[in-house]
Amino acid sequence: MRALVVYCHPVEGSLCSAIRDAAVKGLSAAGHDVSMIDLAADDFDPVMPVDEWRTYMDRKIVTTPEIVRYIEKVQESEILVFVYPTWWSGLPAQLKGWLERVLVVGVAFRFTKKDRVRPGLTQMRRIHVISTYGSPKLYVRLVNDNGRRILTRALRLCGTKRTRTSHQGLYALDTSTPESRQQFLRDVEKKMTTL
């Protein structure tokens, strides 16, 4: 299957970049055709310009080359894997902005003639979310893990009833050990071979 890894962290060499590499390695080992988006390396601007907003409000697809490139990758992917750190109980700004600018009407969803919303990513079979958290798991659950919910619930509705979601989180990162971080990387790579 065609897999797309959407990666968002500003520092190459971070634990998140090691997680990204483990995910790509596992997906490749499973025989998937893997491509990747690195939002920080792309210097992606999360702010939707006025002209894009107007296009969105007119229910048309944005045609700027920067956005079209991302749209094409999403539309051809059957597996979406997101790798990011959870900050302030949510997605990093670049990733949230990417969702808002790329997964728009005509891409992630469409409207019927009676203005009913219908899925647009019907080729999507799996969504897998991998995130790091500075807080312990109980705290993350108490604040609802908003990033995970956006990706495994809201985005899932853009697929079909067969679209499955899964999640891996490294909690309490601030007190984790080198051994626990290495084990998490192994777990990520192994999980990718089962998608």
Interval 87-134: pLDDT, tens: 999 999 999 999 999 999 999 999 898 989 999 999 999 999 999 999
Alpha carbon 126 to chain centroid distance?
Answer: 11
**pLDDT score at 61:** 85
Reported as a single tens digit per residue, the pLDDT across 181-194 is 999 999 999 999 99
Token digits for 130? 């991998």
pLDDT band with cut points at 50, 70 and 90 for residue 63: confident
Q: Domain range for residue 174?
A: 2-192
Q: What is the pLDDT of residue 12?
A: 94
**Is the pTM here over 0.85, yes or no?**
yes
C-alpha–C-alpha distance, residues 106 and 92, integer Å = 25
**pLDDT per residue over 17-32, tens digit each?**
999 999 999 999 999 9
The number of folded domains in the chain is 1
Tell me the CATH number at 63.
3.40.50.360
